[in-house]
Amino acid sequence: MTEAYIVDAVRTPIGKKNGGLSGVHPADLGAHVIKAVVERTGIDPAGVDDVVFGCVDAIGGQAGNIARTAWLAAGYPEEVPGVTVDRQCGSSQQAVHFGAQAILSGTADLIVAGGVQNMSQIPIASAMVVGQQYGFDTPFGGSTGWAERYGDQEVSQFHGAELIADKWDISREALERWALQSHERARTAIAEGRFDREIVPVGDFTTDEGPRETSLEKMAALKTLTDGGRLTAAVASQISDGASAVLLASPEAVERYGLTPRARIHHLSARGADPIFMLSAPIPATRYALEKTGLSIDDIDLVEINEAFAPVVLAWLAETGADPAKVNVNGGAIALGHPLGATGTKLMATLLNELERTGGRYGLQTICEGGGTANATIIERL
C-alpha cells in the first residue's frame, strides 16, 4: 500500500485584525507560503500535480480560485493547476485530505495543500452580506427543505457555542480559565522559539500578534455576548490574517526529489453532527478516527483542536477523556488567532513541529466547521 507523506509545513506569522498582514493581498499571502515550501524542500515546481487551498468568503481578492491565483502570483509554471476548497473553518485541513487522497489513490505524487485568509480586508460572512443584495438574508432562509427539518432556529457559531456550554454545563469561569491558559501557553511557546521552524516571516513581520497578557479578573469584567449567556469575546477565537501550506508526497516523489518525509498521514476522515449546535462535530469525528485506526485517545501524544470557542474544547475533553496536558500545548486560536481558510494547515504545521520537539509519535488534529461538520486527521511522526 502506498503512503502519503508530509515533507514540510509552513505558515506566516498570524496577524490580528488590522495588524501586520492586513494590507497584504490574499494572493500574495498564499504565494508567500507556496514559495517557502517549494524553496525549503528543493522540489521542481513543475513536478507539482495540484495546488489545493482552503479559503472562506471567496470574494474580492479571495475570489476566482485563490489556489490558482496564489500559485501564479508565486511565479510558478502555468501548467500546474489549482483548486479552492470551502469546508468553512476546516478548509485547509480538507485540502490536506484531498491532496493525501489523490496521492493514496495513485493519481498524484506531489501536492501543495494549504490555505489563506485576510479577514481584515474581507470580514467573516462577507459572502452572505453580498448575498443580501440578491434577496438572501441567510443561507437557509427561503429553503423549504431546511425549514421543514430545522424550522427557524438561529444558525450561528455564537448560538452553537452557547448551546454547547449549556448542554455540557461548562461554567463561565471554566471557559475563562481555558482562555487564560491559551494565552499563557502561546506566550511561552513564542518566548521559547517553538514556532520558529514553521513560521516564514513576511518582511519584518516575524511573530504572531494575538497572544496577550490578561487575567481572570479582566475576563470576568467583560460583558457576555448575549444576556444571561456564558460567552464573552475573551473565550472566542480572534479575527486574523494569515496563510499556511504543506507539501505532501508519494514514496515515488520522495525518491525522485531526494526528500526526507517528516510524518505520514495515518488517518483522515470527516463527520457531521447537529448543524444548530454547529461546533460539536469534533466529538464524533474523533471517535470515528479512533475506531477506524484501532487507537485509543491515550495513544495520541498531542492534539490540536481548533479553539473556535472555549466550550468546543472543553466539551470535547469531557467526551473523549483526553489529557488536557496534551491538548493545544502551545496555545490555540483564542490566543493565536483563527485565519479561517488557513487554520487547518497552520495547526498541522504546529502539530508536526511539536511532535518532533517532544518525540511524540501520533498527533490528532480536529476542527469544528460551519454546517456542523468536523475533519479529523491523525499523523505519525517519522
**Active-site residue set:** 89, 338, 368
Instruction: Please state, in angstroms and rounded to a whole number, the distance separating the CA atoms of residues 52 and 124.
Output: 21
φ and ψ at 373, to 5 degrees? -120, 170
Residue type, 247: L
Burial (0-12, 13-18, 19+ Cβ within 10 Å), 223: exposed
State whether residue 21 is helix, strand or coil.
coil
Alpha carbon separation from 198 to 52, 136, 325 (Å, rounded):
19, 41, 22
The DSSP-derived string for 197-261 is TTB--BTTB-S-S------HHHHHTSPPSSTT-S--GGGBPPBEEEEEEEEEE-HHHHHHHT---
Q: Which residue has the cell 430545522?
A: 150
Q: Is 356 within 8 Å of 295 (Cβ atoms)?
A: no
Neighbours of 166 (CB within 10 A): 12
Residue type, 108: A
Q: Please give the radius of gyration of the chain, using alpha carbons only, rounded to the nearest integer.
A: 20
Q: Is 213 within 8 Å of 187 (Cβ atoms)?
A: yes
DSSP 298: G
Question: Which residue(s) pair with 249 in the sheet?
Answer: 5, 110
E strand or H helix that includes residue 6: strand 5-11
Residue type, 158: F
The DSSP-derived string for 113-153 is EEEEEETTTS-TTHHHHHHGGGT-SSSSTT-HHHHHHHTT-
Q: Is 325 within 8 Å of 181 (Cβ atoms)?
A: no
**How does strand 50-54 pair with strand 110-118?**
parallel
